[in-house]
Structure 1
Amino acid sequence: MSCVLTLNAGSSSIKFGVYNAAPEPDLLAVGLVEKLESATPHLVLHQGSDTTEHTLSEGGHDAAVIAILAAVTPVLAGRKVAAVGHRIVHGGPDHSGPARVTPEMLADLERYVPFAPLHQPHNLSAVRAAMVAFPDAVQVGCFDTAFHRGHPFVNDTFALPRRFYDKGVRRYGFHGLSYDFISGELDRIDPDDHHRRTIVCHLGNGASLCAIRGGRSVGSTMGFSALDGLPMGTRCGQIDPGVVLYLLDQEGMTSSEISGLLYKESGLKGMSGLSNDMRELLASDRAEAAQAVDYFVFRIRREIGAMAAVLGGLDTLVFCGGIGENAGEIRAKVCEGMDWLGILLDRTANETPFSQPGGVVSEGEVTVRVLRTDEERIIARAASAALE
């Protein structure tokens, strides 16, 4: 029996999974290597009811991929890895769906490294490592930008001279694999509804909102890069371009220094001066931690209003991602006082959302759900489909 391997390389972690190759793949094992920025990353592998853990001897994405390949070898039990599916954050303007990755495509995707410097280099590095480890396997790229490629022009452009749009300077949107999975889950949960006006809040170390109508993205808070929109763990979110000019001209910072500031030193970590971990911020009694949480919530509420305007109303609001799925306090803060939009949270259900049918945590006109997203399953489906 053939298997597919999924690799989801982020800025500080790599998620991976092993599935039977099938139209709806069966999960055999799933794992995570986290704290890649440290000298001793941690690998966890779950196979059925068994969990194995160990600390790696060195940090970095390359060492993590090697450790993952060693960890999944016993899971394969002699079965062939027929396809490897990869999350690739940026697919540019041309990729609107999964695609077989060739050396030529890899070279082309290098062009988008400046657009997603925290993710794209690691995504492509994982592809190269898998090509070496599994030379006979089909390599399949699944692009976080693909779900948003059908945007109307007004949601796809900036008010710059048209030549920049033609060169690819446009709003791409991200977290598309997560939004694709959630859209499918909504259809599965209530196939007769079609969730005509839906906002999905993907809240984690990276965070964004997406407006979905008829199963397709019509608006996103993220734009040209994964910096825009909501404040994130270490990323600034929306910022006045004049601030960047000020940093260049008055602070004398280089573009590299500004990139490090906006991508790695800002967001919840920068505002709080404490951490990018929402759990630590909620547990802290420091005023700066509370202010960082308040700003995070404020921006989510503001963007919900904006996405509702894009949709012309709201039928469904979904929370997913590490914070969205697990931080009931954040969901409560976001939904408080939003009854003008039809959002009314069921406080009791919000405390134990995954025990509710369909994750429903509301009692108002707008159905509020908490759903576990599964980017790896989207990748596994695409990898399996490439074998047909």
Structure 2
Amino acid sequence: MRGCVRILCVNTGSSSVKLVLWDGTQELLRAKAETLRGEAQFDAAVTSSLHSLPAAPDAVAHRIVAADTAWPGARRLDAALLQELETRAPLAPDHLPQALAAIRAAQAAFPALPQLACSDSSFHRTLPEVARQIALPRELRQRGLARYGYHGLSCESALAALRAEGPLPGRLVIAHLGNGCSLTAVRDGRSVETTMGFTPLGGLVMSTRSGDLDPGVLLYLLRAAGYTPDALNLLLNQEAGLKGLSGISGDMKALLADARPEAQLAAAVFVHQARKHLGALAAVLGGVDLVVFTGGMGENSAVIRERICAGMDWLAPHRSLSVRVIPANEELVMARQAAAVLADP
């Protein structure tokens, strides 16, 4: 990593935050707070972690999850960018307010340090127009309605690990399976299709997120079931997915260990959807040379990996499907992006 500066990476999710302090490529600290709700809890969690750092950072990098923020690399968080992110908060109500709370906490703790923003959509800037567009009228698309994709930092982490071993496979699918889940088709190191779209709510069934739905379901809930937009947001992001299907839990490990039919159905629906999307991405790529599993579930659940890949050798004609497990390290990608910006003021 250029400069060998100490960079604190703040990785905010919808209900958790991870802080990793790097000195060059050496990890000095890794801390995580989970089951957070609301900006105040994120602010408190980050502030508490900042007081326990073993060394003062030279800069702070923040993961940004929001539509239309797919800038290349890291960007300095100046007043203009911060204002831009504030205006985009309604586009990502379950990610961006949390990130902004973490940014404010870090700025309060280190007012003189550079703060940088790392877009989780940057990797998907290479999506072709046919993959990026949403079938809505031009005037709506001109307001930024498009497919941006997410888990880009995780994808870059997986590619960095593969590049360290040799040439990249030409046709690659990266399956980031955690609380949030997505599959991304990568051709020659470039994202060409992904399952998440305008927000991280689309695509696969996830822990508590619905994934793709017939839009008519949303119209029904608004018109006939008494849902307000805020109630609908809560339902789709926090009460749906595996948790909603099973009525038991959004934790795949718990569902696999539970013999009740509801738990097994939820797991089966997840596997079915993952296989369906994997097949679709294989069609885009014209075959698959390698499937990479990453993220908490992707890395740790051999059962889910085996169920998704069972009988899928047809994706790689004349040989068996190649599968790898690569631990996600989004924070190292963030640190490298931040270091590159700091080295070129």
TM-score by length of 2: 0.94
Amino acid at match of 2:325: V
SS at match of 2:288: coil
Q: Which residue of 1 aligns with 2:145?
A: 169
* Aligned-residue offset at 1:184: 1.4
> Equivalences for 1:27-106 in 2 at 5 Å?
27-37=27-37, 60-72=41-53, 75-76=54-55, 80-90=56-66, 92=68, 95-106=71-82
Label 1:134 to 1:241 Cα distance change in 2 as closer, same or farther (>3 A): same
CA contact (8 A) 2:147 2:196 kept: yes
CA distance in structure 2 between the partners assigned to 1:177 and 1:321 by the alignment: 11
Q: Which residue of 2 aligns with 1:229?
A: 203
TM-score by length of 1: 0.84
Amino acid at match of 1:385: A
Q: Which residue of 2 aligns with 1:380?
A: 335
Amino acid at match of 1:34: E
* Aligned-residue offset at 1:127: 1.1
Q: Which residue of 2 aligns with 1:282?
A: 256
CA distance in structure 1 between the partners assigned to 2:146 and 2:255 by the alignment: 34
**Residue deviations 1:163-203, cap 9 Å, x none?**
22221000010011000111111111222xx2111000000
CA distance in structure 2 between the partners assigned to 1:373 and 1:288 by the alignment: 30
CA contact (8 A) 1:144 1:177 kept: yes
SS at match of 2:327: coil
Q: Which residue of 1 aligns with 2:16?
A: 13
**Residue deviations 1:262-310, cap 9 Å, x none?**
1110000010101111111111111101000000000000000111111
Point out which structure has higher relative CO (alpha carbons under 8 A, 6+ apart). 2
CA distance in structure 2 between the partners assigned to 1:207 and 1:138 by the alignment: 31
CA contact (8 A) 2:175 2:292 kept: yes
CA distance in structure 1 between the partners assigned to 2:122 and 2:277 by the alignment: 21
Label 1:115 to 1:371 Cα distance change in 2 as closer, same or farther (>3 A): same
Amino acid at match of 2:269: Y
Amino acid at match of 2:170: R
Q: Which residue of 1 aligns with 2:218?
A: 244
CA distance in structure 2 between the partners assigned to 1:16 and 1:215 by the alignment: 28
Among 174, 196, 199, the alignment partner of 2:173 is: 199
Among 133, 137, 155, the alignment partner of 1:157 is: 133
**Residue deviations 1:10-68, cap 9 Å, x none?**
12211111111x4xx22112121122249xxxxxxxxxxxxxxxxxxxx8111101111
CA distance in structure 2 between the partners assigned to 1:85 and 1:114 by the alignment: 22
The reply to whether residue 303 of structure 1 matches residue 306 of structure 2 is no
Q: How many aligned residue pairs are there?
A: 340
CA contact (8 A) 2:185 2:281 kept: yes
* Aligned-residue offset at 1:339: 2.1
Amino acid at match of 2:240: S
CA contact (8 A) 1:7 1:86 kept: yes
Amino acid at match of 1:18: L
Unaligned runs of 5+ in 2: none
Runs of 4+ in 1 over 3 A off after TM superposition: none
Q: Which residue of 2 aligns with 1:265?
A: 239
CA distance in structure 2 between the partners assigned to 1:4 and 1:340 by the alignment: 44
SS at match of 2:99: helix
Amino acid at match of 2:36: L
Label 1:216 to 1:144 Cα distance change in 2 as closer, same or farther (>3 A): same
CA distance in structure 2 between the partners assigned to 1:215 and 1:276 by the alignment: 32
Among 180, 200, 213, the alignment partner of 2:187 is: 213
CA distance in structure 1 between the partners assigned to 2:194 and 2:112 by the alignment: 37
Amino acid at match of 2:46: V
Amino acid at match of 2:116: V
SS at match of 1:12: coil
